[in-house]
Amino acid sequence: MTAREIRRVGVVGGGLMGGGFAELCALRGFDVHVVASGPASAARDHARLLRSLEKSVTKQKITAEQAAAAEAKVSFGADLGELADRDLVLEAVREDETVKTAVFQTLDKVVRAETAVLASTTSAIPLIRLAKVTERPGRVIGVHFFNPVPVLPLVEIVPALLTDDSTVEDSVEFVTTGLAKEVVRSPDRAGFVVNALLVPYLLSAIRMVESGFASAEDVDRGMTLGCAHPMGPLRLMDMIGLDVVAAVGDALYAEYHEPLYAPPPLLTRMVDGGLLGRKTGRGFYDYS
Ligand X SMILES: CCCCCCCC(=O)CC(=O)SCCNC(=O)CCNC(=O)[C@H](O)C(C)(C)COP(=O)(O)OP(=O)(O)OC[C@H]1O[C@@H](n2cnc3c(N)ncnc32)[C@H](O)[C@@H]1OP(=O)(O)O
* Residue of 57, 62, 99, 133 that binds ligand NAI (CB under 6 A): 99
CA proximity to 49, closest of 11, 102, 79: 11
Report how far apart the first and last C-alpha atoms of the chain are (Å, whole number).
Answer: 53
Residue 74 near ligand X by CB under 6 A: no
Report, as residue numbers or ranges, the catalytic residues: 123, 144, 156, 195
Q: Is 37 annotated as a binding residue?
A: no
What is the DSSP code (8-state) at residue 175? I
CB 29 within 8 A of CB 51: no
Report residue 77: phi and psi, to 5°: -160, -175
* # residues contacting ligand NAI (CB under 6 A): 26
Pick what 152 binds: ligand NAI, ligand X, none; C-beta below 5 to 8 Å, kind-dependent.
ligand X
CB 126 within 8 A of CB 100: no
Pick what 151 binds: ligand X, ligand NAI, none; C-beta below 5 to 8 Å, kind-dependent.
ligand X
* Cis omega (within 30 of 0) for bond into 263: no
Residues 6+ apart with CB under 8 A from 270: 242, 276, 283
230 burial type by CB count under 10 A (0-12 exposed, 13-18 middle, 19+ buried): exposed
Residue 277 near ligand NAI by CB under 6 A: no
Residue 129 near ligand NAI by CB under 6 A: no
Q: Which of residues 155-194 bind ligand X (CB under 6 A)?
A: none
Pick what 249 binds: ligand X, ligand NAI, none; C-beta below 5 to 8 Å, kind-dependent.
ligand X
Shortest gap between Cβ of 245 and ligand NAI (angstroms)?
8
Report the binding-site residues for CoA: 52, 59, 123
Binding site for ligand X (CB under 6 A): 20, 59, 61, 123, 146-148, 150-152, 195, 198-199, 202-203, 230-231, 236, 240, 244-245, 248-249
